[in-house]
Structure 1
Amino acid sequence: MASRAEKVVRSSLSHVCKSSPISLGAKRTPIPRLATSAAPAQSRTLGTCTGASRATAKSSRVETGKRSASAFSKAISRRPEEEQPTVKRVLREDDLFHSFSESPIPEIRRRAAFMRQHAYCPHPDHRPTRLSDSASGEPTTHTGSLPAAHVDFECPDCGIPVYCNKEHWMADYEKHLEICDTLRQINEDDHDLRSGRLFPEFDFAGPQIEESMINMTNWDTLLYTRNFEAINNDRSMRQATRLLTYPYTIGSVLHELSPYSVRKGGRLTTEGLKSFSALRYTLHPPKTGGGTEVSNLRLEAPPVRLFILGARAESSLPRDAWLQLAHIFPNSRIHLIFIGPESMMNRDDEFPLPPRTPANPFGAVVEDRIWPTMKISTIVDYYHTIHKTGEFYPYDPYFDCFVMFHPGLGHPASSHEWRDTIPLLLETKAPVIVTGYTQFDMERDIEYVKKTAAGEFEILLEPGENIFRSLRWDLNDMDPQDISAGNWGVWAFRGKRYETTRKDEE
């Protein structure tokens, strides 16, 4: 029989996990998935999806981060106002630091148990057990002959199991100090997310005033000019940007006031200016003088289609977050299309999926009433399967753009899933925006594209740190030394265009 304290915890967590009223599902999967964020979970597969291939990739760094972000997005969904007074706070603001194994939150204790079963001690006296996937990408320095050992000792400063015993922790303490403060921050942020407090930072701003210009210099200027409520706490800022990084990463590249330019240090290439200028022309249409009366009706451009490939965590974000795109592009229509074999993960209450019919050949889940100018479709299938059917043909650089959040193009466990997709993306000649967890992750993806499509693609946005990356750090449960941030880096490319020339007559 559950104790009174456990009942209080469950009551608080169930309140935090309430879905936003604007979200498609009435409820979301409970937050315990975050406790085993790196554990293989059953996925929904349709069509050409193969469970074996996805199971292999789930153990990789790419899937770990996406699953963690998805559970995070559910935990901070907005609550109905009438239920807010019933919240019972579990942790105070000055009581957020607890060791994972002794945490008052059951989910975090289960997460610590998972780490002890799967993460290995990084001390160099142990033999290496797996390829390094750290932020630096440096090769492992293990030179000893001791067999691999799972982590068991929790650092008293960060509260996370990082070494197999105290002796190895003390011997390697200088190296651990490089990430100890960040690990402690992750610890406190995870407890804050489940503390039972109200989250005013997730009351996102509504439509933009037409006379007010947006300043995309950084997060502070953007939130101020978008008329967000002031966020004066660093922790609240980290929690908010963990969600907003997805829409604003796209918006910062496509907006006419983008911080990325062709000027020195702006990272935008000449070809990038051509491609993104075409999209900006559509996203910022001139005033037509039209109205609601029949005599004032004017022709409107088709909606801009944003294909988000390999979707996982981003497809289950609260719809208030994705509506930020509609607010910064108020005069254009936007169609978000999430495509991927796991694009319906963490949306279990919406199963079973719609049947595949002639009118809906891929069984797409369509959300057509979230905002007058925005529509969202979710398709559980691989993109290359859909592309070959001509479902979205023709593609127009003025109206289409592809986005891949942390795709893992060059990751050994997931690169095979993109082998057929990359050539098809290059054929469309539409821009492809790609993000990465770390510098190493981003450079690995670029090398994969260079190797598989050498001479057939052009860089539109030089790789570099994303101005609107998540300010919150994430931890890989399979390797506590691997720390990353959502959408840390961003770059863009497209298929190479060949201009037609006429040979001069002799």
Structure 2
Amino acid sequence: MQVEIAVVLTASAVNDKLTEPSLPYIPPSSTASRQQPSKEQTYLRPDDLFHSFTNSPIPTIRQRAAVMRQNAYCPHPDHQPTHLPSSPRAAATSTLAPAHVRHECPDCGIPVACSEAHFADTYDQHLEICDLLRQINEDDHDLHSGRFFPEFEYPDASIEEAQINMQNWDTLLFTREFTAVNDERSMRQVTRLLTYPITIGSILHELSPYSIKRNGRLTSEGLRSLSALRYTLHPPRTGAGITIAGLRPNPPPVRLFILGARAESSLPREVWLQLSHLFPRVAFHLIFIGPEALANRPDDVAPPPTPGNPFSAVVEDRLGGQMKISTYATVFEALHQAQHFAPYDPYFDAFVLFHPGLGHPASSASWAPTLPILLDTKIPVICTGYTEFDMQRDIDWVKEQGGGEVDFLLEPGENRFRSLRWEVNDLDPGDVSAGNWGVWGFRGKRYEADRYEEKRGE
């Protein structure tokens, strides 16, 4: 059976963050070990990963520090605020003009204040995230340390009799027979990429950790929607074979429309193949749609429109034999109005939104025309958020804009398969978050129609 997943991005869907850290390209495992290091490659020992961003031996990190110093502002309350707060803590107002960060914290090595005096005044507030910033610093240097990354060696499909355990990262990696990850830093690096396919799989799989039991977070409406998808994702054996007698008809592919695709569209394809390994009897079609879908893929150029490909999709077919990826550098509304994906089927379709920023003031207007389309399809929508504040803001916006026509499928909460690695916003060093930290789900409200027949003889 085939499962087709479509990844959709609205035209002007702006990231809830002011900037989103781009994911590093990890070469396929078959070629990573054969690559020869450059003569100018900088090597860092595991005990020498902490360096000041400004004076880092890695040119890429020095450039990142320059971006921070040119764009990030000092968080001291004496300065006038430059943007809306990204957390419930409101910024104080003052008459002092905003100033860019210049002073680096000696403990975390990241520019966080405009001067040493202002850094001392806000030191108590900075201590809340200083350890996380130092961890981010060391993780970034680790990625550029020149070491070999065995954690990026991904296993192939397991035998069907080997059941997976999706209670947490440790049990999943063990039952999927990943190379043993015995270091916390290596675990953070590998989960940063795997969080995208595994978050989807952990919700759709029949062994999902989310259930209708107490504190299981899955609602009764969510069980109805996911049961339809699981019926397709876990089909019975059909007795198909390579002979004439073994020919069997294949059902249509299942599509997952992931809205707001950005960095996830440029993930190594070996990462997305891990999703198909969770469902060995089906094939997937990932469809990334949106203006930013090709932003981190300089080698992929949209072809000119043709009658067979009117929206200039970049198609990658037969990945691993069970996956196809199509990328549309256009808006979802245009594709929907052209009925490019119609009709939608609750047994074969679902939407996924990674950090969409639905309720963010900078992006909510662009999502306004998209939400009614999602609700009209009655297809499940899975959403993630960077933080609890970010996720709750999106939920409040959906409730307000939905006008009572929304059924919640998965109660909001922390994602069991969130990225264990923390990230810092380059435009606001005080803003620390984790990829896919929280997850929740909704769809358009369904109404049950009961038919009453008049009694005969009356």
Instruction: Name the TM tier (shorter chain).
Output: over 0.9
Equivalent residue for 1:228, pick from 178, 183, 186? 178
Deviation at 1:502, TM superposition (A): 2.6
Deviation at 1:309, TM superposition (A): 1.6
Inter-partner Cα distance in structure 1 for 2:104 and 2:130: 11
CA contact (8 A) 1:89 1:197 kept: no
Moved more, 467-476 or 493-502: 493-502
Deviations 1:192-243 (CA, angstroms, capped at 9, x unpaired): 1111111110001110221111000000000000000000111110010000
Pairing 1:152-301 to 2, within 5 Å after superposition = 152-301=102-251
Inter-partner Cα distance in structure 2 for 1:85 and 1:117: 32
Deviations 1:397-424 (CA, angstroms, capped at 9, x unpaired): 0000111101111111111221111111
Corresponding position of 2:6 = none
CA contact (8 A) 2:42 2:57 kept: no
The one-letter amino acid paired with 1:440 is F
Deviation at 1:62, TM superposition (A): 3.1
Higher RCO by CA contacts (8 Å cutoff, separation 6 or greater): 2
The one-letter amino acid paired with 2:96 is L
Secondary structure of the corresponding residue to residue 198 of structure 1: coil
Inter-partner Cα distance in structure 1 for 2:42 and 2:64: 21
Corresponding position of 1:466 = 415
Corresponding position of 2:99 = 149
Secondary structure of the corresponding residue to residue 19 of structure 2: helix
Corresponding position of 1:83 = 35
Instruction: Point out where structure 1 has 5 or more consecutive residues left out of the alignment.
Output: 1-45
Classify 1:400/1:139 alpha carbon distance in 2 versus 1 (closer, same or farther; 3 Å).
same
The one-letter amino acid paired with 1:111 is R
Give the structure-2-normalised TM-score.
0.94
Secondary structure of the corresponding residue to residue 62 of structure 1: coil
Deviations 1:427-449 (CA, angstroms, capped at 9, x unpaired): 11110001111111111111111
Residues 1:335 and 2:285 are matched in the alignment: yes
Equivalent residue for 1:398, pick from 332, 337, 347? 347
Classify 1:218/1:338 alpha carbon distance in 2 versus 1 (closer, same or farther; 3 Å).
same
CA contact (8 A) 2:217 2:411 kept: yes
Deviations 1:268-323 (CA, angstroms, capped at 9, x unpaired): 00000000010001000001112111111122221111111221101100000000
Classify 1:209/1:86 alpha carbon distance in 2 versus 1 (closer, same or farther; 3 Å).
farther
Inter-partner Cα distance in structure 2 for 1:331 and 1:465: 30
Inter-partner Cα distance in structure 2 for 1:76 and 1:373: 20
Corresponding position of 2:373 = 424
CA contact (8 A) 2:50 2:138 kept: yes
The one-letter amino acid paired with 1:358 is P
- Indicate the percent of aligned positions where both proteins have the same amino acid: 63
Deviations 1:71-100 (CA, angstroms, capped at 9, x unpaired): x23256654432257685521111110011
Inter-partner Cα distance in structure 2 for 1:237 and 1:463: 25
Pairing 1:380-395 to 2, within 5 Å after superposition = 380-395=329-344
Give the structure-1-normalised TM-score.
0.85
Inter-partner Cα distance in structure 2 for 1:108 and 1:419: 37
Corresponding position of 1:42 = none
Corresponding position of 1:36 = none
Deviation at 1:61, TM superposition (A): 4.3
Residues 1:62 and 2:17 are matched in the alignment: yes
Q: Alignment RMSD, CA only?
A: 1.8
CA contact (8 A) 1:279 1:397 kept: yes
